[in-house]
Chain A
C-alpha cells in the first residue's frame, strides 16, 4: 500500500516534532554525558561502593534496622487500610454507571435528588483525580509539616495518595462489568445500592482484590520512601546514614529494603494467583461475597487481614490521643487555610517556567533511558522461545541462567525506589536534573524490563512454534513473531509509565534532583504556603496533561497499528 504524499509529509512533520521535543527535553534535564566520566564523581561512587562492605552487622545497628523495617511495614499496612476507607466510598459514588449515565440512571425520573446525586458523583471522580495526581511524597511532606514528624503523617499520605489511585481503578472496574445482569436485577425492583452489592461487586471482585494487593505492594515501596521526609522507617534511616557517610549501614538498610520488597511481592503474587480472575469457573470455590480462599474457612482470611490492619494502625500510633483529637483536626484545618489563596502573581509564575521544563525534561529523558535499559535486559529476561532447544542442553542452560540473571538485575533496579537511586546519582554527577533523570531511568528500566519480559512470555506460543518450524532463528522469531503480538501491550505500558514518571520526576526533585520538586521542597521549608499551593496545582495540571497526551498517543498508535496490519 502506498501512502499519499500528504500523509508522508504529516509523518515527517510528527517525526521532526518528536525529535525537537526530545532535544528540548535533553537540554532542560541538563543531560551531560561527560559528567558520567568525571573522575571526581567516579571517586565518590567508588567510595560509596567500597564503603558498602563490610555490611554493618553490629547488634545495635541490626536492632535499628529491624525496628525501622517493622515500622515501615506497619506504616504500609495501616496506610493501605486507610486508603481503602478513602477509596471505596469515593469509588462507589464516582461510578458513572450508577449515578450519572446509562440505563440504571436514565430510567429514573429527573428529581432534584437525582441531579444532586449525579453532581456529587462528578465531584467524587474529580476528588479521586486530584488525590491521585499529587505524588505521595508531596502528601507526606505536607502532612509532616502539618502534624509534625512521625509515622502518622506517612500513613495519612499513603491513605490519601493510594486512596485516590485505588478509588479510580475501582470505579473503572465497577463501570466496566457486564451491564446486562444489572438491568435484570433492576427489573426485580432492586435499588442502585443493592445492584452494587449483588450485581457489580461480585463481577468486579477478582480484579478488585488483585488490584488492592498491587496497591499494597506500592504502599510498601512508598512507605520506604516517605521516611526520607521524616515519616520514619527504613527511608529515614537511609537518609540519616547517607548524611553521615556510613555506607556500611546503608548496605544493611538496603538489604532489609530488598528483602521486604521481595517478600511482599512474593506473598502478593501467591495470593493473587489464589484469587486469580481467570481461573476456571468454580475454582474460586463457592465463595460468597466476602473473600475466600479455597479450603480455608470462610472469612478467616478477612479476619486475619483486618486484625493486621488494626494492629498496624495501633502500632503507628493512629489511635494515640493526638492523632484523632479535635485539636489536631483544627490545627490541620488552620494549616490548610494558610495555602489559600495560591500565589499567582505573573512575576512568580514566570520563575516557574524553568523548573516545569526541567521536570518534564526529567520525565521524558528518564522514560527513554528506562525504555533502553528495559529493552536491553527485558528481551534476554523473557523465556527462550523454542522449547525444543532442550535438546541442546548446554545452550538451553546458558539461556536460562541469562534469564535468571537479567530478571534479578531488573528486580534489583525496580525494588530500590527512584528517590534512593537519586541519592547515589547525586554523588556521581552532582545535584540537579541530570541525576534525577538517571535515577528515574534506572528504576523505570527495572519496571519496564519486567513488563516487557512478561509481555513477551505471554505471547501465544503456537504462532512462534509455526515460525520455528519454518527454520527461523530465535532472533527472527522475536522480530516476526513475538514483537508484532506484544507490541500493543509494550507501547501502552511505556506510555502509562511515562505518565507515572511525570509524577515521579517531581518526587526525585524533592531529594535533590531539580525541577518542581526541589522548588516545592524549598518553599515548604521556608513556609511559603501560597507558593506550595500553586506548585501543587501545577503538578496537577501537568499530570492531567500527560494523561491526555498519553491517551492521544495510544489512540493514534492503535489506529496506526490497524493500518499497518492491513498493509
Chain B
C-alpha cells in the first residue's frame, strides 16, 4: 500500500477564518490506483491533501506512507517523502518572476544538494536543462522556456506546473482541483496530460468538484463531508441519492483573495 490512513484527525485554527479539520478519516490507497476525492467546499479536501503530501501533520491517528508512520519521520526523511509525492494545485503556484525553465527546474530541488541548487540558480548543468526541456516539450511549451511565469495564461501556467511535476518524477501524484481555473477545452487537455503521466504506473489522487468528471475518469471515489468520510466506493456503485445527500445544504465556494505583494520600502534617509 502507498497510503494507509487509520482514524486520522487534524485540528488547527485556520488563518483564513473557519477552522479546518478532519475527524477519524480511514482509507488506504494501493500503488497504481486512481482515486477521486469529492465533497462540498469546506469538507476538508485541501487539508487531506496537505496531509497526504507531507506538509501538514496529523493531530491524532496514524498516516502511513509505504508502511512508515509519517509522524515518526525525521525532517530529512519527511523531505524524501515529499520528493516522492508530486502535487498539482488549483492555481499553478509558479514563482512569478522566474522563467518557465527555472520553474521547471524547481521540480528537481528535492533531489539536489544546496550547492547544486545554488549552481543551478546561476547556471544550471546541461543535463538538468535537457531534462527540463524534455518535460516542457511533453506539455508543449518548449518555445516558452525564457518567458517569465507571470507572462503566461492560466492554462499555460498549469502546463508548466505539470512540467515541474514531470521533472520531479514522483511515484504519487496529488492533484487538487487541477481543472477548476480552466475552461472545458483546456481541462480536457490537462486531464489527458495527467492521465498520460499516470499510465507509467504512478498513483493518482485527485480532488474534483465536478462529480461527472470524477465518476467518468476515476474508478474509485472517496467522498468527504464536514471532515469525515461520507462514502468510499467504486464509481459504478455511487448512487445519485448518495450524491444529493453529500452536497445538500453545502455553502457555495468562496474564492480566497491573493495576498498582497511585497511593499516598496520608504527611503531611510
Contact = CB atoms under 8 A, between A and B. Distances in A.
Given A181-B93, A188-B83, A194 B262 contact: no
A241 interface: no
B241 interface: no
B85 A202 contact: no
B146 interface: yes
A214 B269 CA distance: 8
Given A177-B262, A281-B151, A188 B75 contact: no
B78 A181 contact: no
A2 to B, nearest CB: 34
Q: How many of chain A's residues touch chain B, expressed as a range? A: 35 or more
A178 B114 contact: no
B95 A189 contact: no
Contact of A214 (B98, B261, B268): B268
A202 B261 contact: no
A147 to B, nearest CB: 25
A281 B267 CA distance: 24
Interface of A, helix, strand, loop or mixed by DSSP: helix
B117 A176 contact: no
A198 interface: yes
Nearest to A222: B269
Given A202-B97, A217-B269, A282-B147, A197 B121 contact: yes
A108 B83 CA distance: 15
B83 A189 contact: yes
Contacts of B112: 194
Given A109-B74, A173-B262, A286-B99, A187 B109 contact: no
Contact of B79 (A172, A191, A211, A214): A191
A191 B114 contact: yes
Given A189-B82, A197-B121, A215 B268 contact: yes
Interface residues of B, number: 63
B87 A203 contact: no
Contact of B264 (A180, A188, A277, A493): A277
Contacts of A286: 99, 146-148
A189 B110 contact: yes
B55 A214 contact: no
A317 interface: no
A238 interface: no
A203 B258 CA distance: 15
A161 to B, nearest CB: 10
B75 A109 contact: yes
A447 B268 CA distance: 10
B40 interface: no
A215 B98 CA distance: 26
A282 B148 contact: yes
Nearest to B256: A180
Contacts of B78: 107-109
Contacts of A496: 266
B225 to A, nearest CB: 25
A493 B158 CA distance: 41
Contact of B106 (A111, A165, A180, A190): A190
A169 B268 CA distance: 10
B107 interface: yes
A179 B259 contact: yes
A496 B263 CA distance: 15
Contacts of A109: 57, 71, 73-75, 78
Contacts of B81: 189
A204 interface: yes
B164 interface: yes
Interface in A156-192: 165, 169, 172-173, 176-181, 183-191
Contacts of B148: 281-282, 284, 286
B53 interface: yes
A186 B56 CA distance: 11
B266 A218 contact: no
A189 B79 contact: yes
Nearest to A283: B148
A180 B93 contact: yes
Given A109-B73, A187-B55, A207 B109 contact: no
B201 interface: no
A189 B82 CA distance: 5
B147 A221 contact: no
Interface string B227-269: 0000000000000000000000000000000111111111111
B22 to A, nearest CB: 15
B96 A187 contact: no
A218 B93 contact: no
A288 B102 contact: yes
B82 A114 contact: no
B111 A189 contact: yes
A172 B146 CA distance: 29
A244 interface: no
A288 B121 contact: yes
A248 B137 CA distance: 72
B24 interface: no
Interface in B100-127: 102, 106-112, 114, 117-118, 121-123
Nearest to A132: B268
A184 B265 contact: no
- A-B residue pairs, 6 tightest by C-beta: A189-B110, A189-B83, A218-B269, A184-B93, A190-B109, A187-B87
30 contacts: A103-B55, A107-B54, A107-B57, A108-B78, A111-B74, A169-B268, A173-B262, A173-B265, A176-B260, A176-B263, A179-B259, A180-B91, A181-B94, A188-B82, A188-B109, A189-B109, A189-B168, A191-B109, A194-B109, A197-B117, A197-B121, A198-B106, A199-B106, A203-B97, A204-B262, A205-B97, A214-B265, A214-B267, A217-B267, A218-B267
Given A176-B261, A284-B148, 14 more contacts: A108-B75, A178-B259, A180-B93, A185-B106, A188-B110, A202-B97, A207-B265, A214-B265, A214-B269, A215-B268, A217-B267, A282-B148, A284-B97, A286-B147
